[in-house]
């Protein structure tokens, strides 16, 4: 399983997941039959797990790795260093 989310994204997922998990657990302590709190606890646990593993199955199914996958990477100019080299050889 290859990681497909960044480090900052993983920290945010874990923070939101732990917050949601603790809130829903506190609700379940007061009313154990609260199905909405149980569903939110499972969603929070899923976010914590995806942050810890740094793998998001939804992003994997959609086919992109991170937000920067939408933007094309700039191509390196192969003649980038040759101009400086030509100035060093021929200073005139």
Q: From first to last of its 92 residues, what are the pLDDT tens digits of the chain?
A: 788 888 898 999 999 999 999 999 999 999 988 999 999 999 999 999 999 999 888 888 887 655 555 555 555 665 566 666 666 677 66
> What's the predicted TM-score (pTM) here?
0.65
Half-sphere exposure of 50 (CA within 13 A, CB side): 21
- CA distances (Å), 62 to each of 7, 10, 53, 65, in order? 20, 18, 18, 9
**Domain range list for the chain:** 7-66
| Angular region, 63: left φ>0, alpha ψ -120 to 50, beta rest | left
């Amino acid at each position: 399983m290859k990681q497909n989310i960044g480090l900052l994204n993983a920290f945010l997922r874990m923070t939101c997941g732990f917050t949601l998990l603790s809130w829903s657990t506190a609700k379940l302590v007061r009313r154990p039959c609260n199905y909405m709190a149980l569903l939110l606890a499972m969603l929070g646990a899923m976010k914590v797990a995806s942050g810890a593993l740094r793998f998001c199955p939804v992003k994997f199914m959609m086919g992109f790795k991170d937000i920067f996958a939408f933007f094309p990477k700039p191509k390196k100019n192969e003649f980038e260093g040759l101009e400086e080299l030509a100035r060093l050889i021929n200073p005139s």
